[in-house]
Homo-oligomer: A and B are copies of this chain.
Amino acid sequence: MVFRMNEPNKNPPVPYLNPSVTTDVVIFTVEDGLLKVLVALRDKEPFKGHLALPGGFLYQSEVTEAAARRILKEKTGVANVFMEQLCTFDTPGRDPRGPIFSIAYVALIPRKKLAIGALSDTQQTSLVPVHKMPALSFDHRDIVRYAVKRLRAKLGYSNIAYSLLPEFFTLTELQTLYEVILGKKLDKRNFRKKILRLGLVRKTGKVYREGRQRPAFLFRFVSRETTTFRDMF
């Protein structure tokens, strides 16, 4: 049986700090050509009715990554996606209830994998573009800003983008994804040179036909293993 963690100790049995720990997840996806983050309306105090990152306290014997994956599943219906630890936030005053640490995670999910229901009003969740991030509860805006920085940085030297694409994709699709995440246009020839030199993707024999134009070759990532947070450097 699983128990939900209690509210932070207001009257702890001993006069020591047992800081409460929450996990918050920055869930990235791409929709309508924009990099978006999933935010939810809080149904409890503090900040009831305000937007925040999905998150919550840890279950019994739960580690933070498991908690992050559970939250991800609850909010999006998705499992088995790329996720890594971002950072731990413990700035004093970040939670009005007292010292509560947030161990933040980052997840990347293709838009079409997100269950429609997960974004319905009943779930009180929505996707907001990172360039128009509204005010968020706690220090969640800082967390998102930091997550965006790291996502953009990792894009340049890792295969992190595979998480947002189907197994087979065209180089145009890949480039568009990069442009959306980086927030700027890229030169088609230079992009292809760089991507192919990195050796992360490989051309398959398949082609993609849509519309009446020339078909595009489909590529795939050589490896779907993504470096985890501990390999980041």
Chain B residue at smallest Cβ distance from A5:
B16
Q: How many copies does the complex hold?
A: 2
List residues 136-155 of chain A with CB under 8 A from any CB of chain B. 142, 146, 149-150, 152-153
Chain A, interface size category, equals 35 or more
Nearest Cβ in chain B — how far from A20, in angstroms?
A: 6
Q: Which of B9, B142, B150 contacts A18 (CB 8 A)?
A: B9
Q: Which of B15, B17, B65, B88 contacts A62 (CB 8 A)?
A: B17
Q: Which of B19, B58, B232 contacts A58 (CB 8 A)?
A: B19
Contact B60 A17 (CB under 8 A): yes
How many angstroms between the C-alpha atoms of A57 and B232 in the bound complex? 27
Chain B residues near A103 (CB-CB < 8 A): 88, 90, 101
Contact A4 B16 (CB under 8 A): yes
Chain B residues near A172 (CB-CB < 8 A): none
List A residues at the B interface (Cβ < 8 Å).
3-6, 9, 13-21, 57-65, 85, 87-88, 90-92, 99, 101, 103, 142, 146, 149-150, 152-153, 229-233
Closest 10 A-B residue pairs measured CB to CB?
A153-B233, A149-B233, A5-B16, A88-B88, A6-B16, A150-B233, A17-B60, A63-B90, A18-B18, A3-B15
